[in-house]
């Protein structure tokens, strides 16, 4: 009897009190629903007696409380009562949409949200929830709906927040950053919003602004992993290497709950490589590969780091790993060219302590072999034979055997036919070698019979250089020396 009397008294109270008080009752109801469903049902029933029988806001609030607790039949019951009280209630339609969404019926949910917008074109919740349904499946439709609400409510930061989220998911970082800028620096923004704003700016290559936002986050939370990560990234891209190293040290050693990715190690590798700490850079690149073995592009970074410290054996090994990881159709001549260039670098490196004479010859022979394959694969390109000429010139440093001669001649003939100033530098190199070759031939006793012809041929090549570059001092001296 006492409980019944108490519920009657509660019902009487809610029938006569303003919304601020029944909202307190709904808040308490949320706690009771799970603990004592029967009591919650009785309390809810008492709350809607009297004048509150047609209180749409109250009916919907109780329905949402039940829905939040996972009690769908009860939520449907109060949605039906709200619709009965007002068949054109936008709030009731939103509740029906929420129930449908809970039942994983996105089609019915979106229909109910559209219905709510029809009943009340300014029902912000319906627009936002509609956009949530379509943000992945049809982002254009979601954005269109949000822009409709934006036109009605320009200062609604909830719209900007949802637009930012959708643009971020679409990888449209320019528009995402613009949307975040309208609310992320204000009081409604969460720490996650600030992180995504900074990332959107970073991915849009606005490194200065991204750094500014990241540093703002660090002022509030100095040990936050994402803000420290972005500080390292941005300082690296801005080439502020000392600050980047400090940020990297904090990120890898002092942050809370850091979940390191291949990108973290890759960026750290870039930073160390820029600081010429090549061995340390390679360690970071290798960590990155371990985390993401599919990202074989990192072998190119490893190769470049070894090349910069003149460790060509390891540079070649790393690049071959990269090349071998590619599908056959992606193993193009330009990638083969890099292998040949590394062999050429090994064969022409100045440090005689790291490579023997025999190893030099082997490296240059390997380079020649690679460039030959390129010349065959891409006959319309001059690069294969041009680099064959360079490799053979390095194998014959005194130009006594003329190993490079046929290749420079072939390149010169091809480039002359193109008649394009872009190739002038390559032509000058061809003419310089050939002019020098025939200049040496003038003094060769074995070629005494051809001395006059060789003199004219040499003079012709040096003259061709002056036709391209009238100020070329080497060509002038050579011509002055030919009597």
pLDDT digits (tens, 9 = 90+) for 13-36: 444 456 667 788 888 888 888 889
Question: Which whole number is the average pLDDT over 426-439?
Answer: 96
Instruction: State the Cα–Cα distance between residues 117 and 172, nearest whole angstrom.
Output: 28
Summarize pLDDT for 305-315 with one digit per residue, the tens.
999 999 999 99
State the virtual CA torsion across 179, 184, 187, 191 in degrees, nearest 10: 140
Instruction: State the Cα–Cα distance between residues 432 and 469, nearest whole angstrom.
Output: 12
Q: What pLDDT band is residue 6 in, cutting at 50, 70 and 90?
A: very low
The answer to whether 364 and 394 have CB atoms below 8 angstroms apart is yes
Q: Is the pLDDT of residue 353 over 90?
A: no
The answer to whether 142 and 167 have CB atoms below 8 angstroms apart is no
Instruction: State the Cα–Cα distance between residues 339 and 315, nearest whole angstrom.
Output: 9
Q: What pLDDT band is residue 9 in, cutting at 50, 70 and 90?
A: very low
For residue 148, give the DSSP letter: H
Helix (H, G, I), strand (E, B) or coil at 188: coil
pTM of the model: 0.79
Q: Tell me what pLDDT residue 15 has.
A: 42
Instruction: Identify the CA nearest to 78 among candidates 39, 52, 111.
Output: 52
State the virtual CA torsion across 220, 225, 227, 231 in degrees, nearest 10: 130
User: Which region among 140-144, 180-184, 331-335 has the lowest average model confidence (pLDDT)?
Assistant: 331-335
Tokens 């850079």 sit at which residue? Answer: 281
Question: Which whole number is the average pLDDT over 264-272?
Answer: 97
Contacts 24+ apart (CB under 8 A), 306-314: 306/278, 306/282, 307/342, 307/345, 308/273, 308/276, 308/278, 309/278, 309/279, 310/349, 310/351, 310/354, 311/354, 312/342, 312/343, 312/345, 312/346, 312/349, 312/355, 312/363, 313/346
Give percent of the chain with pLDDT exceeding 90: 80
Q: Tell me what pLDDT residue 4 has.
A: 39
Question: Which whole number is the average pLDDT over 261-289?
Answer: 97
Q: Tell me what pLDDT residue 18 has.
A: 61
Q: Tell me what pLDDT residue 232 has.
A: 98
User: Which region among 252-261, 279-288, 351-360 has the lowest average model confidence (pLDDT)?
Assistant: 351-360
Summarize pLDDT for 193-247 with one digit per residue, the tens.
999 999 999 999 999 999 999 999 999 999 999 999 999 999 999 999 999 999 9
User: Which region among 7-21, 254-268, 300-314, 348-362 has the lowest average model confidence (pLDDT)?
Assistant: 7-21
Give percent of the chain with pLDDT exceeding 70: 94
Summarize pLDDT for 135-145 with one digit per residue, the tens.
999 999 999 99
Q: Tell me what pLDDT residue 1 has.
A: 34
For residue 224, give the DSSP letter: B
Q: Tell me what pLDDT residue 19 has.
A: 66
Print the SS3 string covering 28-43.
HHHHHHHHCHHHHHHH
Structure tokens at 192: 């996650």
> For the chain, what is the mean pLDDT?
91
Q: Tell me what pLDDT residue 12 has.
A: 40
């Amino acid at each position: 009897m006492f409980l019944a009397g108490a519920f009657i008294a509660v019902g009487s109270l809610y029938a006569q009190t303003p919304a601020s008080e029944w909202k307190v009752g709904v808040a308490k109801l949320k706690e009771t629903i799970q603990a004592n469903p029967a009591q919650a049902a009785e309390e809810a029933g008492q709350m809607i007696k009297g004048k509150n029988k047609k209180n749409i806001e109250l009916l919907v609030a109780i329905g949402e409380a039940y829905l939040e607790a996972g009690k769908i039949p009860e939520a449907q019951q109060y949605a039906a009562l709200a619709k009965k009280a007002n068949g054109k209630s936008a709030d009731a339609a939103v509740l029906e949409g929420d129930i449908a969404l809970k039942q994983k019926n996105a089609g019915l949910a979106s229909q109910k949200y559209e219905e709510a917008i029809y009943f009340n074109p300014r029902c912000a919740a319906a627009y936002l929830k509609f956009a949530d349904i379509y943000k992945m499946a049809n982002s254009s439709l979601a954005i269109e709906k949000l822009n409709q609400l934006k036109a009605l409510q320009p200062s609604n930061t909830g719209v900007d927040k949802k637009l930012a989220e959708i643009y971020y998911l679409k990888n449209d970082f320019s528009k995402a950053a613009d949307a975040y800028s309208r609310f992320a620096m204000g009081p409604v923004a969460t720490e996650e919003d600030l992180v995504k704003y900074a990332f959107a700016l970073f991915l849009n290559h606005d490194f200065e602004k991204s750094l500014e936002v990241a540093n703002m986050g660090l002022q509030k939370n100095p040990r936050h992993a994402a803000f420290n990560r972005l500080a390292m990234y941005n300082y690296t891209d801005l080439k502020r290497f000392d600050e980047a190293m400090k940020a990297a040290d904090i990120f890898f050693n002092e942050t809370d709950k850091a979940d390191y990715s291949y990108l973290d190690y890759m960026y750290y590798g870039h930073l160390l490589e820029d600081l010429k700490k090549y061995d340390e850079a390679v360690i970071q690149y290798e960590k990155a590969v371990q985390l993401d073995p599919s990202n074989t592009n990192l072998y190119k970074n490893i190769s470049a780091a070894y090349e910069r410290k003149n460790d060509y054996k390891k540079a070649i090994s790393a690049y071959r790993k990269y090349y071998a990881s590619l599908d056959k159709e992606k193993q193009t001549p330009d990638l083969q060219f890099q292998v040949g260039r590394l062999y050429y670098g090994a064969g022409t490196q100045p440090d005689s302590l790291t490579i023997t004479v025999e190893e030099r010859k082997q490296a240059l022979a390997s380079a020649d072999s690679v460039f030959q394959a390129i010349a065959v694969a891409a006959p319309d390109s001059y690069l294969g034979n041009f680099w064959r000429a360079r490799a053979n010139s390095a194998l014959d440093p005194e130009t006594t055997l003329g190993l490079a001669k046929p290749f420079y001649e072939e390149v010169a003939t091809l480039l002359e036919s193109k008649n394009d100033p872009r190739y002038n530098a390559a032509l000058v190199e061809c003419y310089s070698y050939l002019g020098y070759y025939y200049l040496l031939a003038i003094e060769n006793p074995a070629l005494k019979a051809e001395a006059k012809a060789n003199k004219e041929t040499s003079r012709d090549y040096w003259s061709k250089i002056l036709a391209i570059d009238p100020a070329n001092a080497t060509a002038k001296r050579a011509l002055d020396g030919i009597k």
